[in-house]
Amino acid sequence: MSLRIERRLSIPGWLPVAVPVGSVILVLTGHDPVATDRRLLERGFFASGAISGTLVTATPLLLTALAAAAAFRMQVWNIGAEGQLYLGAVGASGAGIALHALPGPLIIAAMVVAGILAGAAWGAIPGILRAAFRTNEIITSLMLNYVAGLFITYLIYDSHSYWRDLSTFTARVFPQGKYLADAASWPRFDLLGMMIPFGFLLGILAAALVWLTATATRFGFEMRVIGDSPNAARYAGMRVRRRIVTVMAMAGGLAGLGGASEVGDFRHVLDPRGIQQAGFGYAGIVVAALARLNPFAVIVVAVLLGGLANAGYSLQGPDFPAGLVGTLQGLILFFALGGEMLVRYRIRWRGPQTAAPAPAPVAVAEAGS
């Protein structure tokens, strides 16, 4: 018996049936699926203030997902958005603290630039390592996440750094970063009652830039060639190493902007514990994959995922364990991802009567035909 996967020619009619699996689990665990789904949608998207809450999570996800997508499109595997986001937060909070006396717009502009630069510098490290020593950037960018995590913990808990508040009684009771001046808080825009964070708008702008770079510039074209065939690119005279470093720096800059937004839009302080608990960098990879690396789809998926996360807390309670919330969220993602694959491919079972006597190579050859 063997399995094989082949392309579909048409979209299967049974696909929508897959969705109610979550409902089956809800019924089995003694919950009303209708009320649950209703609450999920309301609290994630439709209740008053729900979108504002959803965007709190969606904003960093959007930027880390762009950091993953921009690199993945060019076959550079940046797993380091997590660490690049931390460094962006370090850069932005540093700029915010240093320039606290300036007018608000100047501080905010400096925070944006500092966040992008810090993230880009951190992202460039695995890029340089790959360009110079052909190291695997999946490993180096991943390991640098842990380095970055220890670094921000060090800044607040283990040292008397520039970022750490040492003056107030509060800070002596529990180590914390210096809070930014009110003028350094990024603005929010009221759109029909939804509070849109400035970082989210920057994220939309960034998505457009990523798309433009990939599709309408010589740089984007070269990266596609490099991704498909590095030798051909080299033969054509493209500077492969430089391009790889640039892509990693660009991705790092996007995640760094996410870190700057975390500080400017929401936290107003460098908070090593909270920012590490959130894990936006890793979740961003999921968003990028769900969006099939399309920068505009990333915006939609980030909001969808942000809403799921936001609504998830609302579902939780004594009769609704956190594990069940996770299961539901996982199922929705699974069907979005798995459904996506099953829309394009189908799985064919081959009966035992043909597969059993036949030697393995034949089956493989058949599958390939």
Partner 1 sequence: MKSRVIGCLTVLAGLALSACGTGGSGSTSPSAGAPLKVAWIYVGSRSDAGWTKAHDDGRLMVEQHFGSRVQTTYKENVPEGPQVQQVIEQLVQDGNKLIFATSFGFQDAMDAEAKLHPDVFFEQATGFKTETNLAEYFGAAEDADYLTGMALGAATRNGKIGFVAPFPIPEVIREINAVTLGAQALHPGATVQVEWTNTWFDPAKEKQAAQSLIQRGVDAIGQGQDSPATGDAAKAAGVKWTGYDSNQQQFAPDVWLTGTVYNWGPYYTRRVQAVMDGTWKSGSYYGSMKDNFVDIAPFGTSVPQSARDAINQKKAALKSGSFYEFTGPIKDQSGAVHVTAGQKLTLNDILTMDWFVQGVIGNPKGS
Identity of the residue, 57 or 78, whose beta carbon is nearer to partner 1 in the bound complex: 57
Give the CA distances from residue 150 to residues 129, 216, 320, 322, in Å, rounded to whole numbers and listed in that order.
21, 39, 35, 28
Which amino acid is it at 120? Answer: A
Under rule CB under 8 A, residue 195 binds partner 1: no
Residues 131-150 touching partner 1, rule: CB under 8 A, are 150
- 344 counts as binding partner 1 under rule CB under 8 A: yes
Binding to partner 1 by residue 24, rule CB under 8 A? no
**Contact pick of 97, 206, 275, 305 for partner 1 (by CB under 8 A):** 275
Query: Residue count at the site for partner 1 (CB under 8 A)?
Result: 65
Indicate left, alpha or beta for 158 from its phi (over 0: left) and psi (-120 to 50: alpha): alpha
Choosing from 1, 136, 340, 354, the residue that interacts with partner 1 (CB under 8 A) is 340
What is the closest distance, in whole angstroms, from the C-beta atom of residue 262 to partner 1 in the complex? Answer: 8
Tell me the two tokens of residue 40.
């999920």
**Residue 57 binds partner 1, judged by CB under 8 A:** yes
Whole-angstrom Cα distance, residue 340 to residue 120?
A: 33
Quick note: the x/- pattern for partner 1 over 238-267, rule CB under 8 A, is ---------------------------xxx
Which residues sit opposite 176 in a β-bridge?
Answer: 165
Question: Of the two residues 51 and 117, which places its CB atom closer to partner 1 in the complex?
Answer: 51
Of 1, 3, 5, 35, the one binding partner 1 (CB under 8 A) is 35
Residues 147-176 that bind partner 1 (CB under 8 A): 150, 153-154, 157-159, 169-170, 172-175
Rounded to a whole number, what is the largest CA-CA distance in the chain?
Answer: 81
CA dist 238 and 226 (Å) reads 8
Closer to partner 1 by Cβ: residue 198 or 243 = 198
State the angle between helix axes of 104-133 and 240-261 in degrees (0 to 180), rounded to the nearest 10: 150
309 binds partner 1, rule: CB under 8 A: yes
Rule CB under 8 A: say whether 12 interacts with partner 1.
no
C-alpha separations of 170 from 25, 133, 179, 270 in Å: 46, 47, 12, 15
Please pick, from the candidates 128, 332, 363, 367, the single residue that binds partner 1 as defined by CB under 8 A: 332
Chain CA centroid to CA 142, Å: 14
**Which amino acid, one-letter code, is at 292?**
R
* Residue number with CB closer to partner 1 (44 or 80): 44
Binding site for partner 1 (CB under 8 A): 11, 15-16, 19-20, 23, 32-35, 37-43, 47, 49, 53, 56-57, 150, 153-154, 157-159, 169-170, 172-175, 265-267, 271, 273-275, 277-278, 291-292, 294, 297, 300-301, 304, 309-310, 313-314, 316-318, 322, 332, 335-336, 339-340, 343-344
